[in-house]
A and B are shown apart, each in its own frame.
Chain A
Amino acid sequence: MGEEGGSVTLLCLTASSGVPLFCRTTGAPSKHQLPFSVIGSLNGVHMFGANLDVLLTAACTANTHVVWRVFHNSITLIVLSAEEGASDFALGRLLDNTFSAMVLILGLEELVNIRNIERLKKDLRACYKLIDSFLAPLERSGDLTQCVECVPVPHGAALQEGLEAFVAAAESRFGCLVVGGRLALATEPWWQLAPQELLLLSWLVGSLPPPTARDYPIYLPHGSPTLVPRFWKPLLEPLQACVRPQPHGLPPGTTLPPGVLAFLLIHREQRSSQSSVQPPGSGGEGLSPRRRARALRHFYALVAARYFPWEGSPAPPQEPFQAGFPHRARHCYVVSATHKAYAIHAPQHQLFLLLAPHVPTFALRPLAARALQRLTGDAAC
């Protein structure tokens, strides 16, 4: 998340005693090392309220958003974001993902019944990579959408066959092919996992150093938070090697209408997504890919938090803003100084487009409709 806009600091403390477990920072790290007293009062103010049955959830100043959340009465997560465009929605997702990541690595038992704090601190180091990837998601969007990001691959059928065979040989039912942090192929049972689990797994794989083979014990926060389903995929390497996916994340042969700078397509039922910040034809015009990604994320957070029906987990504690609308929002657009953005909520899909500023505003809608048609017509997802 953090980048040019400002720093993001994530604090993890024990809920009962307020002992800091870890603190991760992105952005301007040297400047924003929070002093212990500040960490103490950030937690203290929340605890003070909790004792009086008043749950402090968020606060914001002109430049910083702060969000508190307690998980299972055991772990308190606090995030301070000085990022531009930070929202309670995005920060809420960040905390949620962070805790899920901790469960994924350590198991829920370990986190709920803390016996040895020092030990826990040490164990939590294993999560840093994954958590850091949530803090700086770069061009990815899965953390925000809580959809597993997919990438279409050529020769899908052949690879799928190979994957099935491999998984069977490994005496597992779960198997997937991950390309550049995105899911290319998966076995049928794999899709049965909760969307967030799928997401975490692919982000976990992405956060690991690139060895040739992986064998990694995990807990599934939704499916089996206490049990480790182990699986092997040593034979993935040759498969991976033979895959040369397009950088733009489009099914081969698909083109998008001109002027599309970035897109994010969500398959609503499957909770999977496809996205690219460099679709073919967009060229180097306008914003850099990094900034496109930020703009798209920001747009998604805006639309998802305010207009489109709430999807993904967990449900917000209070009825969301969109509940106040007597009618359903279907499309939404934003015209900004540097770009335009358009969103469509279709029965099967949600499409979020980032467009060049020269695209006429009145052309946004037909253009977006055409893009949706092309993307879903022969999409792999």
Chain B
Amino acid sequence: MSPSRFRVLVSWRLGAAGLRSGGVTPPPGMEEPLSLEMPREPAPRQEEAAAGGDESSETGSCSASFSGGSDDLEPEWLDSVQKNGELFYLELSEGEEETLLQDSSSEVPAVNHVRFCENEAEVIQEGSRKERKYEPRLKKITKILKKKSLLPKHSGKKGTGGSDGHPSGPTSILKHQSTQKVGVIVQQRYKDVCVYVNPKRLPNDGAGEKLKLLEALVGIVHQSSWSNKRAEKQGEQDRSNKGINEEKLVVHGLIPGSSAIKTGQILIGDALVAVNDVDVNAENIERVLSCIPGPMQVKLTFETSVFEHEGTSQQRYKQAQSAMNNLVKLLWREDNMDLQLAIQGMPHIVMYLTLKLDSETSKDEQEILYQYPVSEASQKLKSVRGIFLTLCDMLENVTGAHIISSSLFLCGKLVQVVYWKESDKLLVIGLPAESVPLSQLRNMITDVVRTLKFMYGSLDSAFCQVENVSRLDHFFNLFFQRAIQPARLNSNASPSAQHYDSCSALFLDNLPGVRWLTLAQEIKMEIDTALSDLEAADFAELSEDYYDIRRLYMILGSCLFYKGYLIGNHLPKEDLIDIALYSRHYCLLPLAAEQRIGQLVIWREVFPHHHLQPSEASGVTGYREPEARYFLLIVGLRHFMLCVLLETGGCTSKAIGNPGPDCIYVDQVKATILQLEGIDSSIEERLEAPAIPCLSCADWFLPASRDKLESFTTPPILSKLQNTSKTTASPISKRTLFTDSSLRTRKLSPSRSSGGSDNGSEGPEEGGGLNLLATVDQVRKHERKESQSFGGSEGSGSLFKVTKKKHTLPNPFHLGNLKKNLSEKDTELYNAVKLTSGPENTLFHYISLETMQGIFITPTHKEVQQLSGSIHPQLIKNFHRCCLSIRSIFQQAVMKEKVYGMCSDSLSFPPTPLLLRFNPDLKRLSLKKKKNADSGSNLDSRKASSDLNLVREHGVLFECSPDNWTDQKKPPPTMTYWVVGRLFLHPKPQEFYVCFHDSVTEVAVELAFKLSFGLAT
């Protein structure tokens, strides 16, 4: 028997209330009696407290906060688990939620965020109410909520209320007349206002203040004394008589600073008639409000005497909408018309088409298995699907290769369409070229396919199942939003960070790697230890002898993110990439970066390609991946996000059906994060610290005005550095540690400075070029060797040699060494690390992609934000756009390399017919090679057809000048800088992209290498 089964039985025996109607899903939240200690299972209440405030949430009693009895024992996410076991539960931290909800408070009333109702039977007896259960106070993403949100709206409820004998209102004569007017006005009679309430913020007064909840919680003052006292009295006397104590909750006043007044929609004179669709009156309001378990948003329904004009409410709605956080809305799957409208004009589409048509049933559009969006935007592209199908078929026949892309011109826009063909199905994605360049779109479809396969196993199982349609709609909604308007999904960030995100997203989001944050060794150690402890899974309930049964899951590995940066990884690269793609797609990384997550729990079965694909190597070693199923568990708390890959069915018990998230595992992962809480201050410190390596701002190289130009004799950068950046914190004495005795000066070779003759004689680059270079001797030698060997020949042999040398040479700039020697206090030492040679730091930006490890390093958001200016943001944008171009060239090289790699294999093994059928050129090539191999000049012929694409390095020199140059007499000063990309294939694939000032030209190699030293992995 599986533990979860076991727990279910126990909980039944316990008679714990509230076995949810989860269908097949056993409620894993039920705790067995033995382990009811609080530390292991922090009650949700406690969680909130921890999320909201600073209290350490390790242990402590929470019994006092139990209001709903057994309900609180269940994790909040339990009700969000879908029938197939999947869970996507997102709850923001209190502060975030409040702002977000307030923003959306004037939203369309139909959206029913959260609903609760009293569990006391006396209040509501209607059948429809009974179905409603206590619902957690979180946003619902599941269909359950969708269904519930279709429950009787206010108008419908009013009817039932009437049947109960509730009069619609005391001032009935006037109002009744108004209801008989036009329909619009009738709708205006009741207004729904969403307010954020937090019972925990209540002043801890005595219990005598009972009746004040309405004031304290919501901020509405209702003076019951003003109304009929007799009714109240009678109500007390005769509780069962409902008709009598029907005092209206007229708003007599609003408390300043309260949620009610903040909405700006509640007016004095309105009458509160319902709270989350529960009828309220003076009698029951306090009881209803006392049932609010925690901070949440409630919907108040008012009967209003003031008729609002449609227009003003619309306007207000719009304003609030713009301020709303689009990303969270998207993730909560709330309809966000604003976002949708924004991309409506853009022709975009995704279609899954079948190439095999049943000729018998010639139904219209039967070849479309899936399509999104079903809107005008896609109509035209959908109508020409014949082109896609024909091209796919015909070009494959003619050229022997699958179609990759095509370009269409429609609605005045160039639209790129990329294809993914698998067996007899064709996945097509079309996007305007202005949003995504073609080379990038190709990467995007690859990523989409990989993510879908990770989530569903195969494209067919993703697209061909009816129940997946709404999930895929959501999936592709996110996809297009990210592709077309990346900036709009990060409304929370500061403008500069937003700019950085939006211009880097296109490039960074498609790198085969995760953004890595270098950390000090001891922090890394702490993280690794915590992750290892978790993975060992020998905590009490997970150890096998605890129940004397096999455990449910084995933890294959985990990776930890902080604010979207990967800070710890115990997963193989392929799995890491799979998970990163998934989290990237669902925008989890930026979410954790910008918003404090109250709680995030994601659970789903996944199909990691790496484990499921039988690899060739396995046959050799005798190792076979077990026939297992895999589950992904992601838990997020605050800025942390821990992803765990679980295996079941290998050495563990087999999973049956669609198991939902297991409480113990979720808790354990949560506990791991909590355990690591302490390090967030040191990570923050690292994020706040000045850039390592130092970065310069482009604007520092441009004199802001003419007088500054004249005082240009001294290098201005250093002084500016001291003024504007935080590098001043770095003590000079520390710097000498690196530059002690071996410091020497060296003049820049004249040829180099004369090289930029066409750059104009004035401007800062000249000043930079003539400066003396102070470098560390050893490094200089080292780099000279490197640049020589790189300049000399680009053969793979020399590349290899150099990298090998790198490891043997003790390099003072080796960050890895550096960190090991660091004591805690010496973290400022990082400041001394500068990548470029010369007194001025000429490095603007960099990206280092370690393809092998699946990570990349680039300056943090903070580091970029520190460098403000007018030119610099442009430079950042330019850099990333150029990287797109450079990388597309590299990708061709890698592709070619692979083809040749296969060819050289085919020399020793008989060529596989499949491969040859795929690519006739290849066939010709390998035949040619065979011939040549006989004649002995095989290498040459190989090069002959490959020379065009085997690009190893590519650089572009850009020139810029200030935007607002007003001086008519003088031409604007210019600044020139390089964007250089370098590709390494041997010994391990790596890519580097750097952006540096023009004054030093040969540093690219050196830069790249030093960057790679920074990896402490």
Residues B394 and A60 in contact, CB atoms below 8 Å apart: no
Q: Which residues of A contact B889 (CB under 8 A)?
A: 302, 334
| A77 at the binding interface (Cβ < 8 Å) | no
| B40 at the binding interface (Cβ < 8 Å) | no
**Chain B window 873-898, contacts with chain A (Cβ cutoff 8 Å), 1 for yes, 0 for no:** 01101100110010001000000000
Q: How far is the CA of A344 from the CA of B759 in the complex (A)?
A: 11
Among A56, A61, A317, A338, which residue has the most Cβ atoms of chain B within 10 A?
Answer: A61
Residues B957 and A337 in contact, CB atoms below 8 Å apart: no
Residues A63 and B391 in contact, CB atoms below 8 Å apart: no
Q: Give, as a whole number of angstroms, the nearest-CB distance from B783 to chain A.
A: 11
Residues A321 and B948 in contact, CB atoms below 8 Å apart: no
| B787 at the binding interface (Cβ < 8 Å) | yes
Residues B433 and A318 in contact, CB atoms below 8 Å apart: yes
Among B395, B434, B792, B877, which residue has the most Cβ atoms of chain A within 10 A?
Answer: B395
| A298 at the binding interface (Cβ < 8 Å) | yes
Residues B407 and A336 in contact, CB atoms below 8 Å apart: no
**Chain B window 776-800, contacts with chain A (Cβ cutoff 8 Å), 1 for yes, 0 for no:** 0000000000011011111000000
Q: Give, as a whole number of angstroms, the nearest-CB distance from B320 to chain A.
A: 33
Residues A60 and B414 in contact, CB atoms below 8 Å apart: no
Binds A, one of B49-57, B365-373, B642-650, B747-755: B747-755
Q: How far is the CA of A49 from the CA of B617 in the complex (A)?
A: 47
With known contacts A41-B390, A49-B408, A80-B398, A61–B793 Cβ distance under 8 A = no
Q: Give, as a whole number of angstroms, the nearest-CB distance from B66 to chain A.
A: 58
Instruction: Find residues 287-332 in chain A having any chain B CB closer than 8 Å to their own CB.
Output: 287, 291, 294-295, 298, 302, 306-307, 317-319, 321, 324-332
Binds A, one of B380-388, B622-630, B656-664, B713-721: B380-388
Q: Can you name the residue of chain A whose Cβ is closest to the Cβ of B963? A: A326
Q: Can you name the residue of chain B whose Cβ is closest to the Cβ of A332? A: B956
Binds A, one of B530-538, B605-613, B938-946: B938-946
Q: Which residues of A contact B397 (CB under 8 A)?
A: 38
Q: Which residues of A contact B404 (CB under 8 A)?
A: 60-62
| B422 at the binding interface (Cβ < 8 Å) | no
Q: Which residues of A contact B99 (CB under 8 A)?
A: none
Q: Give, as a whole number of angstroms, the nearest-CB distance from A299 to chain B.
A: 9
Q: Can you name the residue of chain A whose Cβ is closest to the Cβ of B380? A: A54
Residues A333 and B1002 in contact, CB atoms below 8 Å apart: no
Q: Which residues of B contact A41 (CB under 8 A)?
A: 390, 394
| B950 at the binding interface (Cβ < 8 Å) | yes
Q: Give, as a whole number of angstroms, the nearest-CB distance from B948 to chain A.
A: 4
Q: How far is the CA of A60 from the CA of B956 in the complex (A)?
A: 27
- Among A59, A327, A362, which residue has its beta carbon within 8 angstroms of that of B391? A59
Binds B, one of A101-109, A122-130, A138-146, A353-361: A353-361
| B756 at the binding interface (Cβ < 8 Å) | yes
Residues A325 and B882 in contact, CB atoms below 8 Å apart: yes
Q: Which residues of A contact B402 (CB under 8 A)?
A: 61-62
Interface residues on A, range: 35 or more
| B921 at the binding interface (Cβ < 8 Å) | yes
| B959 at the binding interface (Cβ < 8 Å) | yes
Among A60, A295, A298, which residue has the most Cβ atoms of chain B within 10 A?
Answer: A60
- Among A58, A63, A295, A339, which residue has its beta carbon within 8 angstroms of that of B407? A58
> Is the contact region of chain A dominated by helix, strand, or loop, or is it mixed?
mixed
| B308 at the binding interface (Cβ < 8 Å) | no
Q: Give, as a whole number of angstroms, the nearest-CB distance from A139 to chain B.
A: 16
With known contacts A48-B387, A326-B874, A357–B794 Cβ distance under 8 A = yes
Residues A344 and B787 in contact, CB atoms below 8 Å apart: no
Residues B399 and A56 in contact, CB atoms below 8 Å apart: no
Residues A59 and B1001 in contact, CB atoms below 8 Å apart: no
| B120 at the binding interface (Cβ < 8 Å) | no
Residues A62 and B401 in contact, CB atoms below 8 Å apart: yes
Q: Which residues of B contact A337 (CB under 8 A)?
A: 794, 943, 946-947, 950, 952
With known contacts A58-B407, A302-B889, A330-B976, A63–B877 Cβ distance under 8 A = no
| B163 at the binding interface (Cβ < 8 Å) | no
Q: How far is the CA of A216 from the CA of B433 in the complex (A)?
A: 44
Q: How far is the CA of A147 from the CA of B400 in the complex (A)?
A: 36
With A42-B394, A326-B874 given, name 10 new contacts (CB 8 A).
Answer: A38-B397, A44-B390, A59-B405, A59-B407, A63-B921, A88-B407, A295-B947, A361-B790, A362-B791, A362-B1002
Those 10 A-B pairs whose CB atoms lie nearest each other, nearest first: A360-B791, A362-B1002, A331-B957, A59-B406, A335-B953, A62-B401, A338-B947, A55-B409, A366-B755, A337-B950
Could you show 29 A-B contacts with beta carbons less than 8 Å apart?
A: A4-B945, A38-B394, A38-B398, A41-B390, A45-B390, A48-B386, A54-B380, A56-B406, A60-B403, A60-B405, A62-B399, A63-B920, A63-B921, A294-B948, A302-B889, A306-B885, A318-B433, A325-B878, A327-B958, A329-B958, A333-B954, A335-B951, A335-B954, A346-B758, A360-B792, A361-B1002, A361-B1004, A363-B791, A366-B752
Listed in ascending order, the chain A residues whose CB lies under 8 Å from chain B are 4-6, 34, 38, 41-42, 44-45, 48-49, 52-64, 66, 80, 82, 84-85, 88, 287, 291, 294-295, 298, 302, 306-307, 317-319, 321, 324-339, 344, 346-347, 357-363, 365-366, 369, 372-373
